[in-house]
Structure 1
């Protein structure tokens, strides 16, 4: 790398790095079946899950990754794949390693994703015992026919049972994922899903539209979906019902009534996070103040073979000034509150005045508000985020 390139890399002050906190993402890559709409790094589970070998790889990866890290961990998100395929003992072993160094904060939020088709009551009791205090259930719909068309392995009954099991286990922070614009879904069906979920009142809802991601079976063979007008009508009507029920949309696809997801909000505020597991991506500020994004080997076999060595990390990219500014906006504008000036300056190492100049066209068009407090999308700009970010790229 040339000196000129290095000069274009912003530097975050040591004190700001410490104050920003640290989150951790743990990726468990296997599912019972791969959903045709999913473009995540997930793989159909073998007949015998290599739980021991994979946990050993995660522990080696963590020792390699966290060697120089001294910031306490404020949130952990265990995602996949379907993490609920792993035993509570395995999850507990992973959390114990994180707590051993650099350590979990006393109020650390620890989330585990779960599929209603791979859970039972006893499993959530055991997960709570090893430290899981938040569960994110991939409900997607309460319409069994819609779920079948999505390739999900659960139906309405399993979804309701899983929700009851989480609550019975004493885990009081519950998120339910719900999708709209599904094959075979009409306005009435979509709103029935919302009404069912509101009656359950999970406290946090991730509500997002089905999209056809490149490379997925649905992209190659698109299913019949509701037309655009129906999707817009459904979203607007659902938003009204969520608002009326006391849920606040604090992020593009997140609604909270009694809690927000601390881990995801940390992402949107351009916080640092380490990541372990096959294909896991991290963003972290080093002791030298440079902001790096890294990626692990994608395939589980290759990851398990190389975990704990430099060969497990297949990509390291240090953010340039342009990268840091754009990525901070890409994340921060997803929040209703936007990104504060303090977070922007301390987490990018960049000047606020330069950002305001960069945003001048969007400010003049009334799409973005940028003042001494922070930067956020205007009410009109909130619905045009993709267009705003495309112009800023």
Structure 2
């Protein structure tokens, strides 16, 4: 019997300085803490590898935080440990998130030698004023220097992260960011709207503005909902005109460069997380690591909040994760997975969403229309089943 596929995620919870908008599990830390963390990652990888001998790793993703803050040799050590303890496909996608200002030619050389073949760079904006407001540590010039190093080192699969609806951002400044990034011809672009998360400095600063936006009134510092909508439309128009295919709500790629790791997540493939707070889905069981750094450094690699998903939850996730992708979900795959037709489970919902021109059914697939993509959160909420 063939090995089952498995994706691996490695969380690096360290950064130079925490951004004002960030609610991820991350914080600055000294070299000693970082080294001790890597030591525990190696132990966790070894422990979990014993239980995954019948899996084949198809993707490895280093996320954070800022993974590129670590010494490059430590990243190589982590990858060596994964290769020792897991079966890794020769053509596996191995990606790392990097921030401008944390890369050197030497670092990138070690990444390349260790097998990393995809680099994701967090630019967010080409405006230095907007970057300062976000609390980013880099300038646009820093980004260009890092991007140049990445290309000179021969990386041919590069993503650039962008953000819209930033404080003080205008449609003109956002379009300028888009055009500057497009001129660099990356293989992949992720374009997200800023979300003001509770518990962040941004929430304290912009909570009143966010409430005005929700009421449909004009905020003082954040772009209006109408401006954000225009940014969203401009993203689609410009990227399509420059040869980027939209394969997910916020992700665009040149043909053949869609992020395999993210696609696996949206298709509910098995994935296993290492490191602080990392999440896993293994044979329809969800769990996560401890979120307490002291406990993790003390050797706590236990699975917390383990939940075996029932068929109802699996079907819900199949629909609202799968519909994030522009090619939607396969009706035959639904039937094979659950032993039921999607029409039997979701008939009235599908009929209504199709009638409202939010969904389309074609060639055995169900997917969001352009209009449906614009209101995707509403559409996906319709696929939550009553108990």
Taking structure 1 as the reference length, the TM-score comes to 0.88
Q: Distance in 2 between matches of 1:377 and 1:129?
A: 41
- The answer for the alignment partner of 1:242 in structure 2 is 239
Deviation at 1:281, TM superposition (A): 0.4
Give the direction of change, closer, same or farther, for the CA distance of 1:94–1:370 in structure 2 (3 Å limit).
same
Asked if residue 300 in structure 1 is aligned to residue 300 in structure 2, the reply is: no
Asked if residue 71 in structure 1 is aligned to residue 17 in structure 2, the reply is: no
Counterpart of 1:282 (choices 268, 280, 283) is 280
Unaligned runs of 5+ in 2: 210-220
Q: Distance in 1 between matches of 2:236 and 2:355?
A: 28
Asked if residue 392 in structure 1 is aligned to residue 376 in structure 2, the reply is: no
Q: Distance in 1 between matches of 2:225 and 2:242?
A: 26
- The answer for the alignment partner of 1:339 in structure 2 is 329
Contact 1:51–1:90 (CA under 8 A) maintained in structure 2: no
SS of residue matched to 2:326: coil
SS of residue matched to 2:382: helix
Which has the higher mean CA deviation after the structures are superposed, 163-172 or 217-226?
A: 217-226
SS of residue matched to 1:392: coil
1:122-148 deviation line (CA, Å, top 9, x unaligned): 211121111111110000011111100
Unaligned runs of 5+ in 1: 1-14, 286-290
Asked if residue 351 in structure 1 is aligned to residue 340 in structure 2, the reply is: yes
Give the direction of change, closer, same or farther, for the CA distance of 1:92–1:343 in structure 2 (3 Å limit).
farther
Contact 1:89–1:130 (CA under 8 A) maintained in structure 2: no
SS of residue matched to 1:118: coil
Give the direction of change, closer, same or farther, for the CA distance of 1:249–1:371 in structure 2 (3 Å limit).
closer
Counterpart of 2:225 (choices 219, 228, 234) is 228
Asked if residue 107 in structure 1 is aligned to residue 91 in structure 2, the reply is: yes
Contact 2:4–2:55 (CA under 8 A) maintained in structure 1: no
Q: Distance in 2 between matches of 1:89 and 1:246?
A: 36
SS of residue matched to 2:375: helix
Q: How many residues align?
A: 367
1:40-99 deviation line (CA, Å, top 9, x unaligned): 1111223x3423321221122222323232221110000001000112211111111211
Q: Distance in 2 between matches of 1:61 and 1:375?
A: 40
SS of residue matched to 2:95: strand
Give the direction of change, closer, same or farther, for the CA distance of 1:345–1:52 in structure 2 (3 Å limit).
farther
Contact 2:13–2:27 (CA under 8 A) maintained in structure 1: yes
What is the alpha-carbon root mean square deviation over aligned residues? 1.9
Which has the higher mean CA deviation after the structures are superposed, 50-59 or 252-261?
A: 50-59
1:5-40 deviation line (CA, Å, top 9, x unaligned): xxxxxxxxxx7xx67621100001011111111111
Give the direction of change, closer, same or farther, for the CA distance of 1:237–1:349 in structure 2 (3 Å limit).
same
Asked if residue 56 in structure 1 is aligned to residue 39 in structure 2, the reply is: yes
Relative contact order higher in (CA < 8 Å, ≥ 6 apart): 1
- The answer for the alignment partner of 2:266 in structure 1 is 268
Contact 1:274–1:282 (CA under 8 A) maintained in structure 2: yes
- The answer for the alignment partner of 2:128 in structure 1 is 144
Counterpart of 1:327 (choices 310, 317, 320) is 317
Deviation at 1:117, TM superposition (A): 2.4
